[in-house]
Structure 1
């Protein structure tokens, strides 16, 4: 093989590899039931993004209430189900994960986990307070130690034994018990 042929083969291989890499990156960016919840977002969607930015970052179309209120919710049009995004002042401020969702946190916490498991996943960082509406239930609030994350929380709601739903986001919105109500 002469040097021109080697160069052409190398260029073609690089182009194909680059195309595959871009495809893999785009596939990983899509919001799915396997996306992980962070203290400041889920998958590629982060607190502070506009809905348009979240759509571009996640490859997911969002639908929901009209943005004429200062606080409203949007949800992915398709997958993942049972996940909502609170939008305040035009920006995503929190992510809610509701019953039957398959979404987990980075540490693997999920709906159905025991209170003991949540406390063991986040040792020394869970604040327990009584649930406002569920008798015997609790809010298990993860309070980060890192200074950079001090304005974020992860809140697990329980029936007193097991996680029934959870959310993450920025203060004060993540602590709103009734969402936008």
Structure 2
């Protein structure tokens, strides 16, 4: 009887000890059953890697509202102060006059000043990208792909085989882009400005 009592006492002690045991750490199988964010599949990862980066619009100095540090509508004094470097050209009156950067930037841009304000700028090189992606050297077909909804094709004044693609502003009162296209169907120059100045075919001549 004494031996039987000892066995019963030992069983009770083990039972009580089992009730106080800390929860076990879930096994790998148990963790897999817990809802979690599913890892990307190889196909999804590949698709994300091949997707084009979002267009931030940062294509260079040319903008619909200005060029580099300059803003369309700025006064002549504001233009000179913002550009910081000397500009070639004189503006003795309120009529149309052209200013150019000096030195290595001389062929980058031509600034049109009328009424002592910046009203337009012209680009004739293939390094600078126009707002929306157009540039010198592109074909008419490429331009029409970039500007499918707002581009109006008009005859060129001096080249009977040439054209102008005049890109209307997205919002009322905004600036326009005019691409000059030669008889071979390629862009030779473009300009940004508001009417009527953007339509001056001879510039300030």
Matching of residue 94 in structure 1 with residue 120 in structure 2? yes
Structure 1: unaligned runs, 5 residues or longer:
1-33
Shift of 1:85: 0.7
Look at both structures and tell me which one has the larger radius of gyration over its CA atoms: 2
Shift of 1:50: 2.1
Matching of residue 121 in structure 1 with residue 146 in structure 2? yes
Matches of 2:89 and 2:166, distance apart in 1:
27
Counterpart of 1:143 (choices 160, 164, 168) is 168
| Compared CA separation, residues 110 and 74, structure 1 to 2 (3 A) | same
Alignment: residue pair count: 145
Higher strand share: 1
Structure 2: unaligned runs, 5 residues or longer:
1-58
Partner of 2:181: 158
Equivalent pair of 1:44/1:58 in contact (CA under 8 Å): yes
TM-score computed with the length of structure 2 as normaliser? 0.65
Give the CA RMSD over aligned residues.
1.9
Partner of 2:199: 175
Matching of residue 38 in structure 1 with residue 46 in structure 2? no
Higher normalized contact order (CA 8 Å, seq sep 6+, divided by chain length): 1
Equivalent pair of 1:137/1:159 in contact (CA under 8 Å): yes
Q: How does 1:12-31 map to 2 (within 5 A)?
A: none
